[in-house]
Chains A and B, each alone.
Chain A
Amino acid sequence: MLSFILRRIFQSVLVLLVVGLVAFAMFRFVGDPIDTMLGQERTMEDIDRLREVLGLNKPFFIQYWDFLVRAVQGDLGISYRQGRPVAEIIVERLPATLELALVSGFIALFAGIVLGIFTAIRRDGWAANTIMTVSLIGVSLPTFLIGVLLIYGFGVGLEIPLPFTDATINTGGMPTFGRGDTVDLGWWTTGFLTTDGLRSIILPAITLGLYQMTLIMRLVRAEMLEVLRADYIRFARARGLKDRAINFRHALKNTMVPVITVTGLQLGSIIAFAIITETVFQWPGVGLLFINAIQFVDIPVMAAYLMLISVMFVCINLIVDLLYVAIDPRLRVDGKTA
């Protein structure tokens, strides 16, 4: 058990070091920092002096080490485009992304589990079949297209004629741009405390959560179907337990292990796919920052985002791994041999 945890932590550190190396190499080799910082009028002495100040004359791995030390201390360089420290920009943008990820993760988990149970219990019902077919289309639909279609349907709105009257009803009117009104709590800006902010998060959160929702739904359904065939469920039925007790107390509990793993791992991709959603809805989070950085080749921001997201990913993977062992006792026995 302990060796398993230690090995996992060692692997995580290795991943972070490699990502750090990639980020550092971007700094060092994509464009010459001396070129960027000194203007046209420069002497060889200027170049040498700046090289000395920036430490560019040191061996590669010493520079890499310095870079890592600075990154850990929160010094991620200065954005080429905005001329401000990257760490400051990211801290400012992070709340928007995290709130979006939180809401969409919640939607995905809640709706995914409910629909998954429903489609598993009513396996051959028409409603369950319809949900399964629609979900197949949902998987093929690229995230950005979902966002655009939601904007079209609920932002711009469609005129739907009311039956038996001449009047039409417009489905639009939802905010589709930015976070709406936010409240500044000093170190955190939140959209949860204003109606406008809450309304603004609905469409982006659905866009972001839809794919994850279909994934969780299919997983819960598959696991439920598997578990419902098991002997102990048949035994529970033979004991005359109510369907509700069997489905929720016995079956659901045993489907949760893979669901937790997948949900945890999906949390990482929610943050990554937030890039797309944020661009569609002009949501001022770190994803939009990253896309703009790519468009304008703002290397420090790109490198910082890369490191930030890999720290998140590695932590999530590590926690999920540990959680997995904690939840499933069978793995603890195997842990010794694995």
Chain B
Amino acid sequence: MSKSITTRILSFLFAFLLVSMFAFAQDDGTTQGNGTTDNTTQTGGAAGGLSDNADVIAKGEELFNGNCKQCHAVNAKVVGPALAKVYERRNIPWLINFIKYPQKTIESGDAYAVALYKQYNQFMPNHDFLKDDEIVAILSWVKKETDNPTVAKTPPTGEPGTPQNPTESNSGLLVGIVVALATLLVVVLAVLAMLGSVLTKYLAKEKALSEADRAILEQKVEWGKILTSRGFVGIVSFVFVALVLKVATEALVTIGVQQGYAPDQPIPFSHKLHAGQYEIDCKYCHHTVEKSKHASIPGPYVCMNCHNAIKTTSPNMDLIYKAVENDEPIQWVRVHNLPDLAYFNHAQHVKVAGLDCTNCHGNIKEMEVVQQVSLLTMGWCIDCHRKTEVNAKGNGYYDNLLEMHSKYSKQPMKVENIGGLECSKCHY
């Protein structure tokens, strides 16, 4: 009898351990945070002049940071002239025209433009993609900055709005519960064992026991037999097979997953320096990200926009010059690789969904060498499509969908609600 009790207890323990092990395993993969950052600084309204509407100015600042900041500052000469009071030096139509078509304006023989060109000896690139009201917004912000400069922001310590990791604390709780239960079990086991031995000792003192009972009492737990028993062998082999299967499945699932992949690049370009320290907007270099499926790696033509004025010589710059001279493009190593069977479009995610680059690419600003942060597996894509709300506000495409969704559901409209989990959204 005690043999069967012991076997039962043992098997129960095994089973419990096994179950809890798999429970842990399932939790591991789900710790992807979704932090979004809000960099917009709220500023007071500007007075008079172009526009003092806070919205316009905020838009102007955003546009300035995206398009102008690389070469211009308000109160300092960078690559191009300082912009303070530029709206007083020239009238607005002239400025709009010049900003859109600088080279054309200079070539048309405009005296002021020619003088500027002589002073700086280089053309500003065309900005004909900016609309007139966008340029006015930029100028409004410049005016605001001229009149009422924003006090230099203290550089954000660490990542602004560090993503909270609720699942982490969750799993901590779980570990606690499991540990507590295990301890409880051990205590119960110990108590049972103690009870057993006490009872055995008590019975051993009892004289009036039948032969059969005595035989049972004197029966020794034969550990060797247990070890070779079918039940034990069965359980052990089950556990072994289960473990091997788990490891194998996990290994197979990770084939082709390159999380953490950080290859050396032909030129050790530092995103930490450019995007982090100098705060160059991602979209300045990866400028097709809002138009195309590709975020496109910039060619030397983009580097030279700044580097013909800043740090014009360095061993790494020489590599760029060499590429241009030899007409041999720089062979950057692709960090983020999706299989050919999956269609991914940057414009959809960045322009339409309004997602921040860091959502998938991690904190690039801190990376000396870029590495793949996300899993880039289908499960990872789907997970995000389940969680993420559609950026539908103000987009005429979604108006009817939003209206209908809000009628039938109190939950926000997620990507999965509008077919974001369907096969042929990504596979065709």
A and B interact: no
